[in-house]
């Protein structure tokens, strides 16, 4: 059961309206008076200084969207050549921005629209980030970890490998070769050669330890009947026909908190975003002010409906469609 514990703090006294107004003010200030303290200067080209804060932001932009296991490096630990490359890129960005501000593009309607769009996007994201910061606390992450750990109690993990093919006949032929007493085909080699699951095929069909809840039902039903290091008869699922090799079984154990805390936070964050979005559009009723183009599916359904009408209904429909004489 989820436990949502909110901690009181002074930051909550700000209303949403106040928060958005503060963002708008900060955003406007940045573009009208870009002389804020940028911290420590770490390099310069001519008279143009490059500040540590600018390089940190550049690094965040580069690593944005990367796997969470990849951490943004500390500037002090980076090679001299990398710092020089980043310095030149930041210098180029700043020079281009200055030239752009002096040019006529600032008055271009398309440019203004794109700036407005970018501004709106930043505000929307800042508002979401604000809500997430309030809701997804360290305590929430700890509680979710405890919940997931409790859910694993008494459950098993299976070490399995599989080969998946299109037809039962193909699966049976492979199984026959695997069981050939004179010259048996190795499961590893068969998976690499025949399996449609390319990711596991490269590893000889190995899926590693899989929690019983995450095993497809048709396969999960068979696993308890298999002996160690044996291969199942062909099993049909929505993905095709499987040959499953059972290697081991163990009690399910939770991963270390430090190894999964970022993933838990990300999932809680996504769940919260989905909740926010769903709450906004829950009662939104769409009223079309234009007549959209019919899809082929809709045309087919209309044709089928017309064909099923009686002669009297067809005549009535035709009469309604005919223009009335004045």
**pLDDT tens digits along 53-62:** 999 999 988 8
Q: How much is the pLDDT for 303?
A: 65
Q: How much is the pLDDT for 301?
A: 67
- Please compute, for residue 145, the number of CA atoms within 13 A of its CA located in the half-sphere on the CB side: 19
**pLDDT tens digits along 80-121:** 999 999 999 999 999 999 999 999 999 999 999 999 999 999
Which band of pLDDT confidence, cut at 50, 70 and 90, is reported for residue 64? confident
- Domain ranges within the chain, ordered by starting residue: 41-103, 156-251
Q: How much is the pLDDT for 62?
A: 87
- Alpha carbon distance 135, 139 (integer Å): 10
- With residue 31 as reference, give the H or E element that holds it: helix 16-32
Q: How much is the pLDDT for 219?
A: 96
The CATH code of the domain at 156-251 is 3.10.50.40
- Alpha carbon distance 271, 128 (integer Å): 12
Q: Which two tokens stand for residue 101?
A: 């501000």
| Range 192-218 average pLDDT | 95
Evaluated on CA atoms 262, 263, 264, 266, the torsion sign reads positive
Q: What is the largest CA-CA distance in the chain?
A: 93
């Amino acid at each position: 059961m989820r436990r949502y514990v909110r901690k009181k703090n002074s930051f909550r006294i700000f209303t949403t309206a106040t928060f958005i107004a503060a963002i708008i003010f900060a955003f406007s200030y940045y573009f009208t008076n870009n002389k804020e303290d940028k911290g420590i200067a770490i390099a310069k080209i001519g008279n143009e200084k490059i500040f540590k804060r600018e390089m940190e932001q550049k690094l965040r932009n580069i690593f944005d969207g990367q796997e969470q296991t990849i951490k943004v490096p500390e500037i002090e630990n980076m090679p001299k050549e990398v710092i020089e490359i980043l310095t030149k890129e930041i210098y180029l960005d700043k020079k281009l921005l200055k030239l752009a501000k002096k040019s006529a593009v600032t008055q271009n309607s398309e440019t203004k629209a794109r700036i407005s769009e970018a501004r709106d996007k930043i505000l929307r994201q800042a508002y979401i980030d604000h809500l997430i910061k309030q809701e997804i606390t360290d305590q929430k992450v700890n509680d979710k970890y405890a919940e997931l750990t409790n859910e694993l109690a008494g459950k098993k993990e299976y070490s399995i490998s599989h080969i998946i093919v299109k037809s039962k006949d193909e699966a049976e032929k492979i199984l026959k070769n695997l069981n050939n007493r004179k010259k048996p085909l190795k499961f590893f080699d068969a998976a690499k050669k025949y399996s449609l699951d390319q990711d596991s095929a490269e590893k000889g069909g190995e899926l590693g330890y899989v929690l019983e809840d995450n095993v497809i039902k048709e396969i999960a039903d068979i696993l308890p009947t298999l002996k160690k290091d044996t291969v199942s008869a062909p099993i049909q699922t929505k993905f095709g026909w499987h040959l499953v090799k059972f290697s081991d079984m163990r009690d399910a154990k939770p991963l270390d908190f430090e190894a999964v805390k970022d993933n838990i936070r990300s999932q809680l964050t996504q769940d919260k975003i989905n909740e926010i979005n769903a709450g906004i559009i829950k009662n939104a009723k769409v009223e079309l002010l234009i007549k959209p183009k019919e899809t082929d599916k809709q045309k087919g359904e209309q044709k089928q409906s017309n064909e099923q009408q009686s002669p009297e209904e067809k005549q009535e429909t035709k009469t309604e469609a005919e223009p009335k004489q004045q």
